[in-house]
Structure formats: structure tokens, C-alpha cells
Structure 1
């Protein structure tokens, strides 16, 4: 993966090329003071003054009064005022309204998928700049975009290309996770397709595997192949209930992109993909394309994003990945129980 490939995967680079094959979106330059705010390690303070009062006709009488939401761990902590970005706020609200009042936000490359747990609706659906800020300031993916987008590039000794950071607002669409697929392209050839939400079992995929694979191949060959700037890349697509395929995103062909049901070792080998796969996953060969998906509820796994919302130790315990942690946990529970029983005995023996 070269730095140039990462640059070419920026939304503003590929969107004009494939605009008619993807979701309607608007791109706004990100001011430096907003970037500084997003990178500020201080108290998370989100302004609520930008609520979109134009989002529905029934809410036209909403109050325009400003309101600050302030979070603090200590009542004695000095009040922190949320920064205001009036000009940028106005542009964002105008864009949100033109896209129907609800948007899916992202930066040049990433969306804050690891932070949807912090939103009140547990969703990436946003209606105001404060919604966007809350997600962005809570996301490691967004921080990665802003601080080290070229971290895993092989040409790390070369100077980093200049980046103009942008806020991407996409018209909100209700996408069914079972309709999302990740496609791996090497030397302009589609070599692998993986179920995007591989942690869940979707019966319709096994029933329609041939139709799904063929429709994605046709979409790729007719609309994407040879039209992109690189010959190695990864694309995310969505197949709707009518069988039409839409482009959702483009990603670099490298370890910075999740290989899902494949491994980067096999994707990068250049020797073709083996039909061997983890138990419960299937690889169907369709004209040289390996199609992998979860085949039964037995293989259902917790979402990888869980590690961003709770301590990693808890994730290991829930999945049984670390037996030693489980043993330590059981020992701790036993010790706590013994201590509790000892305290109860002492209370009973104490003089009344």
C-alpha cells in the first residue's frame, strides 16, 4: 500500500467519478479551528446551539435559544464553554437540510463507526453539527484520519502528501447490514467478496449466493473496472431488495482495511484464493471470484466495535478468547464471595 493509493481513496477523489452509482453526498472543507477542536484532548464539550430547526415542517416553531451541554467529572471543575463555529455551522445546516434533514457523516476516509454507542439513538444518523461533533470526538477512526492516515504505507520514508481535510455528509439511507459486501480488487480483477457484517448470520445470503455474486461482478465490470485511479483497491457495495448494486465506499488495498473473512496474506499472495476457509464460512468460486459469508448461527460473533465501547478484557471474557482471564475472573468472584461471607459472620458475632 502506497501513500498515493491512500490519497486516491479520499471521498472527494472518487465521488465525482462514481457519483451516479452511489448515495448523494455533499463535501465541506474542514476549517483548521474545527480540526483543532476535534483533536483537543480536553473535556468533551459539545455545543447544542446548532439544532436543525428546519428538519421537519412541524417543528418550525422550535426555540432558537442557544444551549450548551457540558460534561464534567467534578462539580468543582471550572465551567468549560463549547467553542462556536457560526460560519461552519451555517454551512453544515444548509447541507443537512438539502439532503433531507438526516445525514451520515465521515471524513476523507473514515466514518465514526466505532462511536455509534455514544449517540442517544445508537446510530450514525445526524441532524446537527453537535451530533457530528459528539461522534467525531469519540472516534478513534476519525483521530486516525486526522493524525496518521499513512501509518501502514510501505513508502513511509517518503514525504507525506498534503491533505485537505473535509467533512462528508451523505444522505441518510436505511441500509440492511445483510445487504453490504466488501470486494477486493487486485490488478483490476475482482478476486474476493466478503459479507460485510460477518458477525451475523443472514439466511438470504446462502439462498441467493449465486445471484448476489453475479450481480456484484456485473456491477464491478460495467461501472468500476478500469475507471478508478489504481488497479489495487477495496470497494464496499450494497445490494438492495430489488437486486440493484450501489457503491458505498472505496478503501486502500492493504492492512489498514479490514479483510473480514479473508486474510491479507492470501489476498496479497497473487496465487489466487484458496477454497479453504474457517469453519462455518463458505468460499464459492464464481469465475475466479471467492465469495465468503457466515453460513450458520453457530459462527455468530460479537461485533469487533465492542472493543471500542467497553474494556478489552470484558470482550475477551465474553468470547472466551483468553482462558487465563476467565480463570482470574472466577478466582476474583470466589474471593469476593468469601470476603462477603466472612463479613456476614463477623456481623453476626458482634455484640448487640
Structure 2
């Protein structure tokens, strides 16, 4: 199992100041407890006079009230049948917000809390990064929630899109609920005794350094639902865990990483370090065969080894860990992320049993998919299971029948008006 010290060392705000010249620009913002409670499905601003029973249970999934009025979806074309009403216009407006209405702090809906200061900071940071960014928390990006976005990526252009992806993500939920408690030496302390994680330097946070845009972010590393299901039993039975993880003194951050749309997934690799020696390198996306990769890997391997020897190993303190890199067409290597050894980090083309048997001095093993048909299954983190089940009576079946019925009604109404 992972040690807490090793996990904390892999937080982006911990490692990026030392590696900022070797990675991609990132802005890092501290997250207030109210926003963390919102991400956890709790009341963002609980009434201190209310009893605990009044705040039990999870709130419906609604976007925050937006002071800027920038919603995560483009306006609906008035000349076409309204796709929102194919479901339920009233409920959809409640979920996405009311773009025609100004935010009113005095009449805010308690189910749609507002975070105007955070919203302004996020929108400003995204603008400084060129207008688009990939969000992530201390460890994980919401890549498992990309199905929520119109373009199927984790690209965000405003606070509303960031909030939507973070709130939808099991990877983010893992960061908040399970990442620290899954460490073998984690001890839950009363809030007053908790030592918050290290604070990044404010001056370096302004432009930062970070990771590539779309692929390659981890759910410590796995985004699977099992990451939440495998929490230690003693934590699962702790009656105050749901409430104390937000206010136990641990600081969570939002990292906004500059978005580059032209990055190629075959150029990213995961590197495994054991005993401060590079023992394995894997194609980062084992679910696809890239014809150019088997031949190119012979050229890439020495560049990754040099990058490890010259940049990573002298500055990263852990004995055992993984790091992801992106190799540019010109041969330069960019650092993407760090993850702890084992735990929820995916071994990709290896198994952890194989990697544990590696010894310092062993020849570096470089694994890529060598031929079509040899790919490994991808992660089940792309869409909810309901979106994969097309059987009679499934969620999709009900949705499509309702949508078809509503579309026919709208078209019939248009024909009648003409």
C-alpha cells in the first residue's frame, strides 16, 4: 500500500515548482471548503443552527449559480426544435441555470450555491492560459466525466464547465474521500491537530507549470468506481468521515492546465521507478495500436532515460513512484504528472507483480502495443454504465422513446402552425 508521505509528494502543487521549466503552464487556486462540500453533494453553506439530521443525504446534481452568466453549453438555436424540452424543460432549466436571469445574492437558491470569488478567479486564470484549460485537483483530473462535455473532452473554457466536470467525476470524488484514507499509515486526527499539506508559493502559482491538455491525467491513477468501493472498513464505518474530510485542515487545490488541442496520445508514456532506478516504460494508452509507435520507441527510449537521469531523479524525493511524460516531435520530453507506486496507479502494459520483481540494474523494459489485435481493454471510466446498456427498459431505451415522442409532437405542432 501507499504511504501518505509518498502520496502527498505527488500533489501537483508540491512538485510543479521544481519542474516548471519541464512541463506545461498551470495556474493553481486554493479551493474553499464550501466548494468542496458542493463537490461532495453536501450543502455548501450549512446553517450552523440546523441539526445534523437536517443536512443528511446528498443533494441533487445542479450547477452552481453563476455570477458571470456563462453556462457550459452554447445557446439553443431558435430555428430548430428545442432539444432541452425533449427531456423536461423545467428540470433542465433548473439544472443548467437560467441564462436570461442575473445572479442575485440576496435571493440565491440554496440548492444552487454561488462561489463568485472562485468563479472570477477561475475565469481569469483560464483567460490567462489562452482561453481553455484542463482542470484537476491535487492528484486527479475529471477525465472520467468527459462524456458530460459537448466535445467529449475535459477542455474547459469557463467556471461553469469546470464545476460540471468536477461534480460529475468519480476521480475527483476519489481525491476528496479515498486518496488519503487509502494510505496504510493514514491516521484521522481531530481538525485542530491536522497538519495541512504544504502550501505552494503564491508567486509561482500565477503562471505555474503543469501537464498536457486532454489525455494522461490519473485518478490516483485509476478512475474506476472500485476506487471508492475499496476504502478501508474502519473508515467506511466511521460515522463522522463524510463530514470531517472537508474541514479537517487539509487544503485542496484546483489546477488549471493549459489546453493544447493537437497533442497525440501515442506520444505519452508512463515510467516506473523502483529504488530510484527506472525499471519500466509503458505506452500510456494501452487500448489502441499506433503503427508508428513500435519503430519510434527505439528512438524515444534513450530520450526518456536521459530525462529521468538529468531532471526527474535528482529532484523527486520518493524511492518508488511513477511519472508520465510526453515526447514531442522534436524529441524534447515534457513532464506530465507524478503518481505513487502501486495503489490505484495503473500499471498499463505491465502488472504490479512484474514490476515488484524488478531490481536496480535490470535492463529497462519498454512496452508498447506491437500489432493490431494486441491492445488491452481500456478503462471503464468513459461513461456511466447506463449509457452502455441499450436493452429494453434501460435508461437509454426510456430516454430515446421519450425523445422520439417529444420530437414528433414538436414537428406535428410546426406542421399545424404552417
Is residue 295 from structure 1 mapped to residue 370 from structure 2 by the alignment? yes
Q: Secondary structure at the match of 2:255?
A: strand
Equivalent residue pairs, number: 283
Query: In structure 2, what is the equivalent of residue 8 of structure 1?
Result: 9
Query: In structure 2, what is the equivalent of residue 168 of structure 1?
Result: 255
Query: In structure 1, what is the equivalent of residue 54 of structure 2?
Result: none
CA contact (8 A) 2:286 2:377 kept: no
The alpha carbon displacement at 1:156 in A equals 4.1
Where do 1:249-288 residues align within 5 Å? 249-271=337-359, 288=363
The alpha carbon displacement at 1:148 in A equals 1.5
In 1, Cα distance between equivalents of 2:317 and 2:157: 33
Bigger-Rg structure (1/2): 1
Distance 1:193 1:80, change over 3 A: same
CA contact (8 A) 2:147 2:383 kept: no
Query: In structure 1, what is the equivalent of residue 405 of structure 2?
Result: none
Q: Secondary structure at the match of 1:70?
A: helix
Query: In structure 2, what is the equivalent of residue 200 of structure 1?
Result: 288
In 2, Cα distance between equivalents of 1:176 and 1:70: 38
The alpha carbon displacement at 1:254 in A equals 1.4
Query: In structure 1, what is the equivalent of residue 153 of structure 2?
Result: 123
Distance 1:301 1:166, change over 3 A: same
TM-score (norm 2): 0.63
Q: Structure 1: where are the runs of 5+ without partners?
A: 54-67, 73-78, 274-286, 318-352
CA contact (8 A) 1:239 1:246 kept: yes
Distance 1:169 1:219, change over 3 A: same
Distance 1:152 1:264, change over 3 A: farther
Query: In structure 1, what is the equivalent of residue 225 of structure 2?
Result: none
Distance 1:24 1:288, change over 3 A: same
Distance 1:121 1:156, change over 3 A: same
Q: Secondary structure at the match of 1:214?
A: helix
Distance 1:185 1:87, change over 3 A: same
In 2, Cα distance between equivalents of 1:219 and 1:14: 16
Is residue 310 from structure 1 mapped to residue 389 from structure 2 by the alignment? no
In 2, Cα distance between equivalents of 1:83 and 1:231: 43
In 2, Cα distance between equivalents of 1:87 and 1:51: 14
In 2, Cα distance between equivalents of 1:161 and 1:9: 17
In 1, Cα distance between equivalents of 2:260 and 2:146: 16
Q: Deviations over 1:118-161 (max 9, x none)?
A: 11111100011110111111111100101121243232457686
The alpha carbon displacement at 1:94 in A equals 1.0
The alpha carbon displacement at 1:230 in A equals 1.1
Query: In structure 2, what is the equivalent of residue 102 of structure 1?
Result: 132
Q: Structure 2: where are the runs of 5+ without partners?
A: 42-57, 72-91, 97-108, 197-249, 392-418
Q: Deviations over 1:174-230 (max 9, x none)?
A: 321111100001111110000000100011111112111111111111111121121
In 2, Cα distance between equivalents of 1:270 and 1:299: 24
Distance 1:312 1:292, change over 3 A: farther
Q: Deviations over 1:301-340 (max 9, x none)?
A: 553135642259859x9xxxxxxxxxxxxxxxxxxxxxxx
More strand by share: 1
Q: Deviations over 1:221-266 (max 9, x none)?
A: 1111121121211100001111111000001111210010111112
